[in-house]
Amino acid sequence: MTDILTVKDVSFSYGDKAVLNRVSLEVPKGEIVSILGPSGVGKSTLFNLIAGILPLQEGKIEVDHSPITFGKVSYMLQKDLLLEHKTVLGNILLPLQLKKIPKEEATQTAMKLLEEFKLSSVADHYPNALSGGMRQRIALLRTYLLGHSVFLLDEAFSALDELTRQDLYEWYLESKERLGLTTLVITHSIEEALTLSDRIYILNNCPGEIVANIPLEWDGETDKDWQKMQYKKKILELLADFH
């Protein structure tokens, strides 16, 4: 499978403080890959490097086989950042307006997407009238319309209650198939990583480094809860070994 995003031997320091140490990972087309690790190991710094927000110091990052530049990936944070003074449709239209797509064409594209995801009934609503889960759905569709091949999700579901999170996981997995999304996720949640991911990278230590690369292979003949428990045990052992 073709790798859409590759990170090779990336190290980074803030002044004299080393934050990342020779980090390498790959995200194949159409997969969801998670970076799981405790606070302070450089997960957000790595995301900011991949997004082109921070300049590379050492190593190489490529998207679609070209060096990373700012604005080459879609980046979604924990906060949905919807504009409260714009309707749902107005928020969805923003990426298309930035691309200077004619208003009528942009509106047709946005409404078609909302209809496809059964959200057209809230097109004229303002964000403050929506639930947290609905706001995240709208924010994800807006992010999709930026048109980039890679999604970065930085704790994008962590502010939601557990039931809403589980519902959104299912929705995102369905959306990934429907829209052909390739996703890199930062999370503190082992459960979230196991639910969403095709592969999990464990980032640990100080400076942060990849200590494990875990492909998730589910055996259909074995109880999935038991398999999850085994993965959790392995991950917790890796996270406990901090230095």
pTM of the model: 0.86
pLDDT in tens, 97-138: 888 899 899 899 999 888 888 888 899 999 999 888 888 888
pLDDT in tens, 51-69: 889 999 999 999 988 888 8
**CA dihedral in degrees (87, 186, 48, 126; nearest 10)?**
10
C-beta neighbour count of 69 within 10 angstroms:
11
**Tokens coding 156:** 């994008």
The share of the chain scoring above pLDDT 70, in percent, equals: 97
- Residues 6+ away with beta carbon under 8 Å from 227: 218, 219
The pLDDT of residue 159 is: 67
**Tokens coding 208:** 């942060």
Structurally, what CATH architecture does the domain formed by 1-73+149-243 represent?
3-Layer(aba) Sandwich (3.40)
Confidence class of residue 1 from pLDDT cuts 50, 70 and 90? low
**What residues does CATH 3.40.50.300 cover in the chain?**
1-73+149-243
Amino acid at 237: E
Rounded to an integer, what distance in angstroms lies between the CA atom of residue 19 and that of residue 40?
9
The pLDDT of residue 82 is: 86
Confidence class of residue 242 from pLDDT cuts 50, 70 and 90? low
